[in-house]
Chain A
Amino acid sequence: MARAAVSGRLTWRLATVTGSRWETPSVRTLVLDVPDWPGHLPGQHIDLRLTAPDGYRAQRSYSIASSWAGTGPIELTVQRLDDGEVSPYLTDTVEVGDQLELRGPVGGWFVWRETEPAPVLLVAGGSGVVPLMAMIRARGAVRGRQPFRLIYSVRTPADVCYAEELRRRVRDDAGLDVHLLYTRKAPEDSPATPKRIDVATLNTHGWPPDFGASCFVCGPTGFVEAAADILVALGHEPRRIRTERFGGTS
């Protein structure tokens, strides 16, 4: 499986969409059959390339949402950005049977390796949950013993991706904790008031800094910087914090 991260020949291939499902009203998962997929590590991404009839090309990176079981399709989870050039095509136009040009897997730094014994803190802002979900799924598949904590910031309860699956995993696995943070509107029956990621949240629902946890933070640029700064301020070793920015502002 480690070979996936060191493959020297990177070619564009045609993947076929074999399935899809909606995670939220604006987030769609695409199931892709990729010929000769070499496998991937959780956290890695693919580069997708769209070519218009006039030859114009747009390229974007998408984190792989699924963990690799040695065979089968891969999954991408795409958030529709209203002013996006590529995402609306993937969420609103692409159909089962269509083909997409992609290359990968790429990325070897923002990756969780099951041989790492440290506890793991995952901090997700919006669609930043995608690569972190791949890590949760990978841990589940290998029955990893490392305790995982996910702090997942969303705007409203309707924006939680993988809601059902996260509930099931938390229920079935004592080593996984999930804390949801709402920035615009909290659930009706919740005492929580909407707020952005802050010291209190990371302190209460993260790992104590002296546990030496591996921290993965992913989401919009502003979110990632805020969360990473707080983790450092709380005493987490900067070298144990890995970040992936998805662009955007908040």
Chain B
Amino acid sequence: MNELDGNAMAGDLLEVFAADATSARFTCAGCGHADALATLRMWGPAPGRVGRCPHCEDVVLRVVRAPDRIFLDLRGAVRLEFSVSGS
């Protein structure tokens, strides 16, 4: 298992979100650090992907890809912040 970063889950997340999610900012539920999902330290992809906070290494998200489902566990993030064009 190689340590990659959140850029590597751009494809998986694009199956879930309508736009690229790697630019979305997470706030770590453990330490409060905030940054783009692309900066998460990623492990996996088996049994699933784990994204850890680059600051405190707590698990921020988990992605499990079943043939017909995607599970996204985000309990390690207080929230996600997506940029959308203003209206």
A interface, CB within 8 angstroms of B = 5-8, 10, 45, 47, 59, 61, 103-104, 106-110, 221, 242-248
Q: Are A45 and B7 also in contact (CB < 8 A) when A8-B19, A10-B15, A106-B14 are?
A: yes
Q: How far is the CA of A239 from the CA of B65 in the complex (A)?
A: 31
Q: How far is the CA of A103 from the CA of B12 in the complex (A)?
A: 10
Give the secondary structure class of B's interface.
Answer: mixed
B4 contacts across to A, CB distance below 8 A: 221, 245-247
**Pairwise interchain contact A109-B38, C-beta atoms closer than 8 A:** yes
A243 contacts across to B, CB distance below 8 A: 5, 39
**Pairwise interchain contact B23-A109, C-beta atoms closer than 8 A:** yes
**Pairwise interchain contact A106-B11, C-beta atoms closer than 8 A:** yes
Q: How far is the CA of A221 from the CA of B6 in the complex (A)?
A: 13
**Pairwise interchain contact B22-A109, C-beta atoms closer than 8 A:** yes
**Pairwise interchain contact B7-A110, C-beta atoms closer than 8 A:** yes
**The residue from B6, B8, B20, B36 contacting A6, defined by CB atoms under 8 A apart:** B20
Q: How far is the CA of A109 from the CA of B7 in the complex (A)?
A: 8
Min C-beta distance of B6 to chain A, whole Å = 8
**Pairwise interchain contact B20-A106, C-beta atoms closer than 8 A:** yes
